[in-house]
Structure 1
Amino acid sequence: MTNKALLLMSIAALPITPAKAQSQPQPLEATAQAIAAAPVDEGEILVTARRRSEAVQDVPLAVSVVGGAQIESTGAFNISRLVQLQPTVQFNTSNPRNTAINIRGLGAPFGLTNDGIEQGVGLYIDQVYYARIAASTLDFVDVEQVEVLRGPQGTLYGKNTTAGALNITTRRPTFDFEGRAELSYGNLDFIQAKASVSGPLVADKLAARISVSLSKRNGTLFNTVTGRDVNETDNLGLRGQLFWQASETIDVTLSGDYNRQNPEAFAQNYVTVVPTARAANRQFANLARLSNYAPASTNPFDRLVDNDSPLQARQVIAGASLLANWDIGPATITSISAWRKWDWLPSNDRDFTGLPITTISANPSQQRQLSQELRLTSNGSNRFDYVVGLFYFRQTINTQGVQEQGSAAGLWLLGPTVNAANPGLINGLRSDNDIRYTNDSAALYGKLTWNVSDTISIAPGVRVNYDKKDGSYSSVVTGGLTPVTPAQQTIKNGVLQNQNYQAVFSDWNLSGDVTLAWKPSDEILAYATYARSFKSGGINLSGIPTRADGVTPATELATVRPESVNHYEFGLKTQFGGNAATINLAAFRTDITDYQATVISGAVGVIRGYLANVPKVRSEGFELDVALRPAKDLNAYFNLAYTDAKYISFPGAPPPIELSGGAVQFVDASGGRLPGVSRYAISYGAEYRIPSAVFGQEGDFYVGVDGSLRSDFSSSATPSTVQNIEGYVLTNLRAGYRTQGGWELFGWVRNAFDTEYFDFLTAAPSSTGLIVGQLGDPRTYGVTAKARF
């Protein structure tokens, strides 16, 4: 059977297609690898970006697809590795809670997470919205394909997203028995096992699928204090699905999943020390001398740390969903009911040294979410297509923050002079925080596509949205030296202080978009889009600055205004030579007013920031996606993203690390670039196959290469001269043999040239000048065996 035939059969498995087409659900096998992420193949690439199954080249959106086969062959088994195939996506994580996915430089503020705001990039798995982006740090489990949608998506998706969406689809249950198994082993004792089995329980009526994924790897850093490797991998994922074909027109899918991560991980190590605006006796070198302290190594690529506080990053993400489709003839009614939970139990070393400065820093958190979406999707017509939906979402979060200072805190946080006059003042000073948050959101959205002629279509969309958020923050400070004088209490308050406030945000919003598309031939599609979108306002739930008295919370800073977004995009999609070449180009500009950013308080001991609105931000650029088949057995791809993302107006920005600790409280960052995004990012690769028969089975020997390049980027929320990360190139190699009968064996090398690079840099608290970083993976290598039956 041809790849194209398999793809056409797989339409039945998509949950948004008419139910009567699903009487024999088949796994959607993305045999054609993704435009912008994979080599060309014979079949069409099908996407559900517009809530119906369509060829990606017929969709007037900037959308890229990575198929399950490409994910497995390149080792992109989670979103952080997927970024190497998708140059327009940025992924930043210092631990699962503090994780952000951005597209074109936009999406979430750079820095530590604040519970009271939303992501600008939506994460959807099997049509269910995941409110906590922490799920993106876990392994993919039995994934069919990943669609990356760029730009606002509020008129097609339940939760409003201003920067884009990741739409992940897992493999569906089948009425034909099938199974898959994969086992990988590599250096650092890396082991990864994946398996799934699918088949009928009741012929033509009830089918089931069970999937499991397990990944373990030793750490890539060595902790000289504990004598153990850290930054390890320890992931477990389970997924189960039941598919019920209730009638020719009604089908129901019940899904459940459990994901657990429990590594000793997310340490950051010494990178450098820079001068700050503090007095000379409060610089890192002098404080280290007085403490008789030296870092484990001053060369970060020695991969040594000296964390004296426990490291833990345990999280459990689980949930269940019920998806029902009812084909009523001209349209399909779809209902998606979902419940999800996220439990987070961390421990960090937030002074980043082997000294007892901050001995405890942890923010255990529990989230629960309920969502209900009801959608009506047309089944196709000659003149009009439409999607209309209702969406309700409720989220609750309870976070218990703890920070405790140790015996070295006085010297490092107060300075030698103040500490000498007040010995032991903040030793044992502790803050216990209780954070409560409730988020209710409801929306009516819709998009109409008017096919004016065989070549021209106009697609307006609209969204009416209501959000209400209730939050409270309580910090109770105990410990330290007692009793104290009023002057000493003021010093203690400058490190940690009691704070209690409540805040409410509620707002209605009307937004929309319109797309004009022109398809003069089967090989060419041109489109232009304008979108007026928004990102809901939020509540500061990590503490806020105080008024002039140094005690009273500045409650006017407890909430942040919504972002207002104007987005413009022009795209051209082309194919040549009977699918031998695909060249897609998108140019965009996004203007944001009241951009939500994380800024840092001037308090001495504060390690978390608070949210504020930046007057204006802009991201503009273009993306080029090329996929080629220059010869029958050779596939190649090349993707380029040029992104110029900057602050247009940011007059009240916090000072960067080199100006911190002095008289300068604010700087004008207008014109500075946004953090985390490179001006140029490229991915490229090729695979060459040699058809051969082994032991009587037809198959292919193959060699493949995948590479990625990022130019330099800022790692500071306020542009800094010392917190920029140099650009780098990563190269991955693979070679192996695959049969048409369903088994494959290949070896792989990732980061083949052992490139030394940073994922991001962080300025340690208290303006001592210490900069720490999170290192990218070193060279890894191994072998993978796969089988299908």
Structure 2
Amino acid sequence: MIARFLLLASVASASFVTPAVFAAEAAQPAVDGDQQASSPRGDVIVVTARRRQETAQEVPLAISVVKGDSIEATGNFNIVKLQQLAPTLQVYTTNPRNTSVNIRGLGVPFGLTSDGFEQGVGIYVDDVYNSRVAAATFDFLDVNQVEVLRGPQGTLYGKNTTAGAINITTNQPTFDFEGRAELTVGNLNYKQAKAAISGPLTDTIAARVAVAATSRRGTLYNVTSQRWINEQDNLGIRGQLLFKPNDDFSITLSGDYSKQDPECCGTTFVRVGKTQRPLNRQYDALAAAQGYVVPSRNPYDRLTDLDSNLNAGNKIGGASAKIKWDIGPGTLTSVTAWRFWDWKPENDRDFTGLSIVSKSQNPSQQDQYSQEFRYNYESKDVDFVVGLFGFKQRIDTQGTEQQGDDAAQWSLAPSTDPTNPANIPATLSGLTASNTQYLKADSAALFGQLSWKVTDALTIQPGVRLNYDKKSGFYQRVVTNAQGQAISCTTVAEPGTIKGTTQQCGVYQPQVSSPSDSAWNFTYDFNVNYKVARDVLAYATYAKSFKTLGINQNGLPLNADNTVNYDASTVKPESVNHYEVGLKTQFWDRRATFNLTAFRTEIKNFQATVNGGQFGTVRGYLANAEKVRSQGIEADFKIVASDRFTAYANGAYTDAKYKKFTNAPCPPELSGGTLQPAGQAADYSQAGVPGALSPRQCDISGQDLPGVSKWAFSYGAEYNIPVNLLAKDGQLYLGVDGNYRSHWNSNASPSIYTEVKGYALTNFRAGFRGDGFDVFGWVRNAFDVNYIENLQVAPGNTGLIAGQVGDPQTWGGTIKFSF
């Protein structure tokens, strides 16, 4: 593995994962003659990572840049797919809401998503912050390039970027008339169409409109509904209007709307592992007792039998106004934005064809408003950015979870007595938990970053950010029986309710909480960079960052006496110390680029998602792990050998661990039994032994963080030859790209049952392109590799592990025109 790492020489400070033949020549900033002298291809990659235009090799931070043409050529049409090109980016999704976007193993706690905490990887589109990670699942829409900024970016990008930021830039309106269209078809009934048109309306007003639509048959067959599920059904539109009366002033108005309406997101049976639950209450025994047989125990048969409705209805959009005004030696920028998110899910929470949880849905509606002012100043010796940022958000959620006819026999202790509650479906059938909740979040910040060019070679760059956050929430769960009567689980029934049975209260308990908290935080970083030679930049960075406080918004866990643990209402802010050194180099007349980064990030009070394994009491909540550490090495190599051949190789070694987490939930192999006595040291010696006593909590200090592969690589190459075909001059080309990820664990507390094997994927494309057109065929996952995208532990500690399998081999063709 080490030899492979050294050979591929992987992703680092500026991971140009775009083969140069796809990288359209960028509009270049004002740079000196040495900077303009580039490779024979002349492709200078321009970024705005520091809120100003500059070449990527000048930026003293770890950044991966993916050009829009490369995104299209490699089929990576959203952030979820983008991880195939950027090895230190990890994206896992069970549905749009429950999506984790991590960098270097950090960012989002692995597990069910809660509205009550911040993302650790900020997603920005044209300088507008997208607070909901669901934005990661939508198609890129008329994108010019994507910058993946690795490491804390709190100074310029805010409190929500302890792990990094994804900065997406779309194509802007032009005063020259231009347009493009793209059509792709493939197997699995895959269809994708994109179009954009831009041009002047008057001498001072230009407009741009872009649309995109994607559809594809599902990859998992549901024998119950007799249809393919986990399909793609996406539609998006973006419009922009640019008013530019002179070179010093411009206003850009933007609006976008995207929707998804697939039958998604189902799972398939993967495996069963022994827990500490009594053997007759584990999956195999329970399934046999009910005569239940899963359609297949081989997940790669792609069969499931889920009996609940599935839906992942998802709408997102908004409007923004960006004003740029050159004032003297600097530029004043104002970005005003409103965004919404509307989420209408339906899930099968028991992962089986039995009616255990017959209904599970948590529709949400979000509105967010943001305002940013910043002033950029540039001079010979000093550059700086100062700004103000304000943010306001409200999220409303209405949840319903209902028990089905098979719940009693599945969830209660079995008995041969026909009068036992476990043998009477009505014991739990129809029991319904209706949740009403809202979250209000307000944030304000003052920030600045200074670059002082001490000499022509040495630059010192300090940055600061002062941030205030306030969060308040409300959560109420009302539990009703099959007759619609509200139940109470207190000793004496509350007014308007009847006393619930022991069995009912063991599944759902009424609950009300109103968490609220606020905090001030101060973020700072300090960067020193030195230009060793014209094309060699060395840098070192220290960053003190944070992720703001969180509140538990999905219900609270119970104490040992079955009362609500209100102490878990809020979680502490994360405190981050980050260290990084890097080297950025170009050689062979700038035809070759090699960048190297080493980093170490330490986080105190890491916000982790934990789950006690109960079926309905609480699905998951936030808690603080005492300390987490991520460290590693990233490298990048790119070569433009000639106009005929380009290649790149990127890779990363990431070692991310819980340094100290003494009060973590136990993995399934140490769960399900009667709890060990309070105050007794946890005994881990009987993992997977049915009937054994289970620890009340587990110390998982020293174990790997979930979702992180220690080794990750991506590579690509393309060769072309000039030809005249059908009376048109152009190039025939052949390209290959691929990626590899080593094994990783898919449970918040690493489990022997949720280990995901490493895999390597390879993609090919071949085509003919010329002036204004490109026609090519492609095959992705060319060798039809079987791999798992995600594993989930079924609730109830029965040992069932369900999962989502990765895409099989797909193939098709694409035709593009531009003018």
**What TM-score, normalized to structure 1?**
0.94
Q: Alpha-carbon deviation of 1:330?
A: 1.0
Amino acid corresponding to residue 349 of structure 2 in structure 1: R
Task: Provide the residue aligned with 2:750 in structure 1.
Answer: 719
Task: Provide the residue aligned with 2:645 in structure 1.
Answer: 634
Question: Partners in 1 of 2:740 and 2:174 — Cα distance?
Answer: 40
The answer to whether the 8 Å contact 1:334/1:376 transfers is yes
Question: Partners in 1 of 2:413 and 2:796 — Cα distance?
Answer: 10
Task: Provide the residue aligned with 1:24 in structure 2.
Answer: none
Q: How does 1:710-749 map to 2 (within 5 A)?
A: 710-739=741-770, 741-749=771-779
Amino acid corresponding to residue 74 of structure 1 in structure 2: T
The answer to whether the 8 Å contact 2:613/2:619 transfers is no
3-state SS of the aligned residue for 1:767?
coil
Task: Provide the residue aligned with 1:20 in structure 2.
Answer: none
Task: Provide the residue aligned with 2:468 in structure 1.
Answer: 466
The answer to whether the 8 Å contact 1:154/1:445 transfers is no
**Pair 40,137 (structure 1): closer, same or farther in 2 beyond 3 Å:** farther
The answer to whether the 8 Å contact 2:603/2:628 transfers is yes
**Pair 6,684 (structure 1): closer, same or farther in 2 beyond 3 Å:** closer
The answer to whether the 8 Å contact 2:178/2:818 transfers is yes
Q: Alpha-carbon deviation of 1:587?
A: 0.3
Amino acid corresponding to residue 521 of structure 2 in structure 1: N
The answer to whether the 8 Å contact 2:29/2:54 transfers is no
Kindly indicate whether residue 443 of structure 2 is the aligned counterpart of residue 444 of structure 1.
no
Kindly indicate whether residue 805 of structure 2 is the aligned counterpart of residue 771 of structure 1.
no
Q: Alpha-carbon deviation of 1:668?
A: 0.9
Question: Partners in 1 of 2:96 and 2:235 — Cα distance?
Answer: 15
Q: Alpha-carbon deviation of 1:605?
A: 3.3
Amino acid corresponding to residue 753 of structure 1 in structure 2: F
Task: Provide the residue aligned with 2:402 in structure 1.
Answer: 404
Q: Deviations over 1:552-588 (max 9, x none)?
A: x211100000000000000000001112110000000
**Pair 328,788 (structure 1): closer, same or farther in 2 beyond 3 Å:** same
Q: Alpha-carbon deviation of 1:7?
A: 4.3
Q: Residue 580 of structure 1 is aligned with which of 591, 594, 598?
A: 591
The answer to whether the 8 Å contact 1:40/1:635 transfers is no
**Pair 616,158 (structure 1): closer, same or farther in 2 beyond 3 Å:** closer
Q: Which runs of 4+ in 1 moved over 3 A?
A: 2-12, 417-420, 480-488, 602-607
Q: Give unmatched runs, 5+ long, in structure 1.
A: 18-31, 33-38
Q: Alpha-carbon deviation of 1:40?
A: 9.6
Amino acid corresponding to residue 536 of structure 2 in structure 1: I
Q: Alpha-carbon deviation of 1:276?
A: 0.6
Question: Partners in 1 of 2:614 and 2:781 — Cα distance?
Answer: 41
Equivalenced residue count is 760
Q: Alpha-carbon deviation of 1:629?
A: 2.2
Moved more, 391-400 or 628-637: 628-637
Q: Give unmatched runs, 5+ long, in structure 2.
A: 1-19, 32-37, 492-498, 674-693
Question: Partners in 1 of 2:41 and 2:276 — Cα distance?
Answer: 58
Q: Alpha-carbon deviation of 1:246?
A: 2.8
Question: Partners in 2 of 1:648 and 1:633 — Cα distance?
Answer: 49
Where relative contact order (Cα < 8 A, 6+ residues apart) is larger, the structure is 2
The answer to whether the 8 Å contact 2:28/2:44 transfers is no
The answer to whether the 8 Å contact 1:371/1:394 transfers is yes
Task: Provide the residue aligned with 1:21 in structure 2.
Answer: none
The answer to whether the 8 Å contact 2:224/2:307 transfers is yes
Q: Residue 479 of structure 1 is aligned with which of 478, 481, 500?
A: 481
Question: Partners in 2 of 1:484 and 1:250 — Cα distance?
Answer: 63
**Pair 6,268 (structure 1): closer, same or farther in 2 beyond 3 Å:** closer
Kindly indicate whether residue 223 of structure 2 is the aligned counterpart of residue 224 of structure 1.
yes
Task: Provide the residue aligned with 2:612 in structure 1.
Answer: 601
Q: Residue 698 of structure 2 is aligned with which of 636, 647, 667?
A: 667
Kindly indicate whether residue 648 of structure 2 is the aligned counterpart of residue 650 of structure 1.
no
Q: Deviations over 1:28-87 (max 9, x none)?
A: xxxx9xxxxxx9943210000001110000000100100011011111111111110000
Q: Deviations over 1:5-30 (max 9, x none)?
A: 98464659xxxx9xxxxxxxxxxxxx
**Pair 307,4 (structure 1): closer, same or farther in 2 beyond 3 Å:** closer
Task: Provide the residue aligned with 1:167 in structure 2.
Answer: 167
Task: Provide the residue aligned with 1:128 in structure 2.
Answer: 128
**Pair 684,762 (structure 1): closer, same or farther in 2 beyond 3 Å:** same
**Pair 484,610 (structure 1): closer, same or farther in 2 beyond 3 Å:** closer
Task: Provide the residue aligned with 1:83 in structure 2.
Answer: 83
Task: Provide the residue aligned with 2:512 in structure 1.
Answer: 500
The answer to whether the 8 Å contact 2:159/2:547 transfers is no
The answer to whether the 8 Å contact 1:246/1:252 transfers is no
Q: CA RMSD for the aligned pairs? A: 2.0
Kindly indicate whether residue 713 of structure 2 is the aligned counterpart of residue 702 of structure 1.
no
Q: Alpha-carbon deviation of 1:697?
A: 2.8
Kindly indicate whether residue 818 of structure 2 is the aligned counterpart of residue 788 of structure 1.
yes
Kindly indicate whether residue 208 of structure 2 is the aligned counterpart of residue 234 of structure 1.
no
Q: Deviations over 1:724-781 (max 9, x none)?
A: 0000000010000110x11010000000000000111101010111000111100000
The answer to whether the 8 Å contact 2:614/2:795 transfers is no
Question: Partners in 2 of 1:80 and 1:4 — Cα distance?
Answer: 21
State the identity %. 54
The answer to whether the 8 Å contact 2:554/2:618 transfers is no
Q: Deviations over 1:226-276 (max 9, x none)?
A: 111101000001000000003331100000000000000111100011111
**Pair 521,277 (structure 1): closer, same or farther in 2 beyond 3 Å:** same
Task: Provide the residue aligned with 2:601 in structure 1.
Answer: 590
Q: Residue 610 of structure 1 is aligned with which of 621, 624, 629?
A: 621
The answer to whether the 8 Å contact 1:602/1:665 transfers is no
Q: Residue 521 of structure 2 is aligned with which of 505, 509, 512?
A: 509
Amino acid corresponding to residue 202 of structure 1 in structure 2: T
Question: Partners in 2 of 1:711 and 1:684 — Cα distance?
Answer: 15
**What TM-score, normalized to structure 2?**
0.91
Question: Partners in 2 of 1:172 and 1:95 — Cα distance?
Answer: 31
Question: Partners in 1 of 2:307 and 2:100 — Cα distance?
Answer: 27
Q: Alpha-carbon deviation of 1:699?
A: 1.3
Amino acid corresponding to residue 446 of structure 1 in structure 2: G
Question: Partners in 2 of 1:178 and 1:488 — Cα distance?
Answer: 67
Task: Provide the residue aligned with 1:680 in structure 2.
Answer: 711
Q: Alpha-carbon deviation of 1:698?
A: 2.2
The answer to whether the 8 Å contact 1:705/1:731 transfers is yes
Question: Partners in 1 of 2:364 and 2:340 — Cα distance?
Answer: 11
Question: Partners in 2 of 1:191 and 1:7 — Cα distance?
Answer: 29
3-state SS of the aligned residue for 2:57?
helix
**Pair 747,346 (structure 1): closer, same or farther in 2 beyond 3 Å:** same
Task: Provide the residue aligned with 1:281 in structure 2.
Answer: 280
Task: Provide the residue aligned with 2:213 in structure 1.
Answer: 214
Q: Alpha-carbon deviation of 1:4?
A: 13
Question: Partners in 1 of 2:619 and 2:633 — Cα distance?
Answer: 34
Question: Partners in 2 of 1:604 and 1:406 — Cα distance?
Answer: 13
Task: Provide the residue aligned with 2:35 in structure 1.
Answer: none
